[in-house]
Amino acid sequence: MAYRKLGCLHESAAQTARRDFLKVGSLGFLGMTLGQTLALEAASAATMGTKAKAKSCILLWLEGGPAQMDTWDPKTNSSFRPISTNVAGIQVSELLPNLAKRMDKLAVIRSMSSFGDDHPQAVHYAATGHLHNPTMQFPSLGAMVGKELGAKNAMPAYAIVPRWEKGRQYEDYFRSAFLGADYDPMLVPDPSKDNFQVTDLSLPKGLAPEAVENRRSFLDIVDKGYRSKIENAEHASMDAFTQKAWEMLLAPGVQQAFDLSQESDKTRDAYGRDSVGQSLLLARRMVEAGTRFVTAAGYHGNSWDTHSNNDTGHRDKLTPPLDRGLSALIDDLVDRGLYDETIVIAMGEFGRTPNHNPNLGRDHWPACWSLAMGGGGLNTGLVVGASDERAAEAVERKTSIGDLFATVYKAMGIDWTKQYITPIGRPIKIANSFEDATGEPVRELV
């Protein structure tokens, strides 16, 4: 049997033979191609107590890294003035007027500190909690949450919306690595496009679910005949993702979750018809249907990497989708009674430099930056940590990516002290903090 590397999507010779025997390639509508991107349900959720409220998490990925002083941590070295929020004593940038009215639903961490002066290193660290190592792949936060909790109903446990159209290196950092393909994210096309469709979930016109069930029975008979001739250990794992693919294909709730036409024009407009807004709307629909973790990555084509014209970029292109889309998501989750069980995080891989460069831009700055989060039973309407007068250094409550991960895990009832064993026998922390210490939940939040 051909060697299959853990975490890779290559087929073994036996898998290929079985596929050819069943001629699955001609039956793509069966959903078999989803097998490599679906997260299989975990046997049970690990618990660190009985008070965990959060059942899912939406990560709004601010690709490129926003300027902390121009968003959540206004300072005098920003071109934009601070404005008051609906929480006394908390101010944010004037570029976030709608979110300022919802500050009671959010908490801001102004003392985040991470590693990596370039995007690949920083994205890897923010996505996995580990420094990039060319000899080792690490699983992302979403993959680990999916592994620990599994999905509800027939939905994928973990998804990225939309998938990277370029820069696939970054997409790899949000995958499952050595955990295996079972915990890879489902990669969804851009829902803001007019032709948006998750093709693997659509039956051909005129083909009823009953007919598909009959086809499935036929394939089961053929499969049993094949197994009588060829048996190997890979059948069990193949059965798992095949079963999940069938469930997704035939479950009406799954197809409906991806159908944005069920939303009113008013709702779609509230989120914004851009990639950021529609990705957040689809993320809401997915977690409502049972997905545990969604990375809403609509900023692929509108990066916060403002090495030139930082101020006009933030004002005209970058903060409007954030302010509009995140506000709509919060309101929507609250109205549907989902906010207390859904963690929402808005963050990038680092911040921006305190000073403008000659091109009127700001460069990379991992030493101190900000993020916002709320929902999932977290304490909100507060600020954690503080930066200096130029948002250059954390001067109070320095917080790591590992601490952030531990906070999410605790809110979701996951043991944040857990370690995974890599294929080479090396233990790695699922919440890895500074100097390889175990991250600690941010006590002010959870």
Instruction: Give 365-410 pLDDT, tens digit per residue.
Output: 999 999 999 999 999 999 999 999 999 999 999 999 999 999 999 9
User: What is the C-alpha to C-alpha distance for residues 140 and 124, in angstroms, rounded to an integer?
Assistant: 8
Q: Is residue 361 part of a domain?
A: yes
Q: Is residue 118 part of a domain?
A: yes
Ranges of H-type helices in 262-318: 265-271, 275-289, 310-313
Q: Is residue 56 part of a domain?
A: yes
User: What is the C-alpha to C-alpha distance for residues 226 and 81, in angstroms, rounded to an integer?
Assistant: 70
Q: What is the CA radius of gyration of the chain?
A: 22
Q: Is residue 235 part of a domain?
A: no
pLDDT, tens digit (0-9, with 9 covering 90-100), for 248-293: 766 777 889 999 999 999 999 999 999 999 999 999 999 999 999 9
Q: Is residue 250 part of a domain?
A: no
CATH number at residue 163: 3.40.720
- Structural domains counted in the chain: 1
Tell me the residue range of the domain where 390 lies. Answer: 45-198+258-436
CB 55 within 8 A of CB 279: no
CB 360 within 8 A of CB 310: yes
CB-count burial class (<10 Å; 0-12, 13-18, 19+) for 223: middle
Q: Is residue 441 part of a domain?
A: no
Percent of the chain predicted with pLDDT > 90: 70
Kindly provide the residue ranges of all beta strands, DSSP E only, lying in 71-141, ordered along the sequence: 82-84, 91-93, 107-112
Is residue 41 over pLDDT 80? no
Q: How many residues does the chain have?
A: 446
Q: pLDDT-based confidence at 211, cuts 50/70/90?
A: low
Q: Is residue 278 part of a domain?
A: yes
pLDDT, tens digit (0-9, with 9 covering 90-100), for 52-90: 899 999 999 999 999 999 999 999 999 999 999 999 999
Q: Give the chain's mean pLDDT.
A: 85
Instruction: Provide the β-strand partners of residue 59.
Output: 295, 345
Q: Is residue 382 part of a domain?
A: yes
Entry pTM: 0.84
**Lowest-confidence region among 47-56, 83-92, 163-172, 424-433:** 47-56
